Structure 1
Amino acid sequence: MTETAPATSVEFCGEWFALDPARPFEIGRDADLDIDDNQYLHRRFLQISQIDGMWWLANVGSRLSATVSDSSRTMQAWLAPGARMPIVFGLTTVVFTAGPTSYEFTVHTSAPTFVDLAPVVDAGGATTVGAVTFTASQKLLILALAETMLRREGTGTSEIPSSQAAAERLGWALSRFNRKLDNVCDKLSRSGVEGLRGGVGALATNRRARLVEYAVLSRLVTRADLPLLDAPHPDTDDRQ
């Protein structure tokens, strides 16, 4: 008996693509979804295909990774080169970075296998993200890096600022910014977040991009936090 896949579509920058169960749908620099003429982006990076009645998202690239989340952003997965995962939610958000540019698109399916859960919020209204806590200045650092993605409306592209640009946005010396970036990445790495620690020669851009992807999709920072960037903030935790 032949199983029928649910109707599935992809949305990017307001443009919609209906997926055909009979053929894979590819995303990249030269693909069905032609994301951008970006030399850092694979010609074919991600692939969505239907297998035995279920839709799958596969990373068919060789260098870049993608971050995948449900609509409530309580589930997050890191899709490394060669990996694949089933598309089980009604709305799935995919974010990835190539060079200094971050991209976001969504996958919509008419018959999700799972229903998205609401985020966990404590009595004080703060969203819980694992057991990781950050100082005020560490959160400011994350906000400075994620600002352009948070200000963007809907899916599309945004630029990840350099460490120098983010440090200037905060009025910090670059050495201070880099020290705090190390501390933030170490905290998240110890809690199990992948992609923040690289080997010898790992590009700092990749680490910043991965931090932004994780922070935005997990609601570690939100658009409501952006006014903190322009508010006075005493340096009470400068050693962290």
Structure 2
Amino acid sequence: MAKVKLLIAEDDVVIAQNLALSLEEMGYEVCSVVSTGEELLLEVHKFKPDLAILDITLEGKLDGIDTAAILSRSSEIPFIFMTALSDKDTIDRAKLTSPHAYLVKPFDVRTLQSSIEVAIHNASLRQHHTSTADAESTAETPLAEQPANYLLQNALFVKVRNRLEKISLDNIVWAEAQDIYCNIKTPQHIYLVSQSLKNLEQRLPGKDFMRVHRSYLVRLTAIEAIEDNNILIGGKSIPIGNTHKDSLLKRLQII
């Protein structure tokens, strides 16, 4: 029987190593241990674990709750929180992501093991019920009566911690693929979003944005210079893919 695969996000190296060792002694396979939410989201796509264990306090821009929110929107992988934080505000934020368990440090290995087993079991039940409900809903609701998806034409909303931030399309200068996620760059921030670059490209107006590489799309008016097959925008060098170069040059006024 295949081992249950676990992915751990914990920024304390000692705690992370001890946790991984304890889990392996229990018979689990720890496929990766990371210290940031950004790393966990990439590793999830790579290893496809059965469960993710997240500390709420992490290095990087995303804390454990932010990471879990993105994870829950982009996959069906269950996750549990482990943290020393038990204040009401933290718990209220955590509840919004519908975690499968919430462990307050310190906890013993027996509690951890039971939480993992229950989380995986409940996740399996949730997925079964969701699949059944979706099938029944699709069968019973005429296509013409199913709700349409709407997109605000001049802006996107991005989940940042416990709120949705509005990003004007005019403020986006480039976007970069990160496996099944992507980074959106504005003059003020870089946002990690649970959309592939392909999906984001479909949401942005083609007259303003262009794919210039398999991993990048840019706002054409943000281009400051082109040098040695690279686009320069705000100090960042963005490569131009061979299959995109001719199309890009045709859209620029070159004299």
Richer in helix (by share):
2
Query: TM-score, with normalisation over the residues of structure 1?
Result: 0.28
Query: TM-score, with normalisation over the residues of structure 2?
Result: 0.27
Asked which structure has the greater RCO (Cα within 8 Å, sep 6+), the reply is 1
Question: Rg: which structure is higher?
Answer: 2
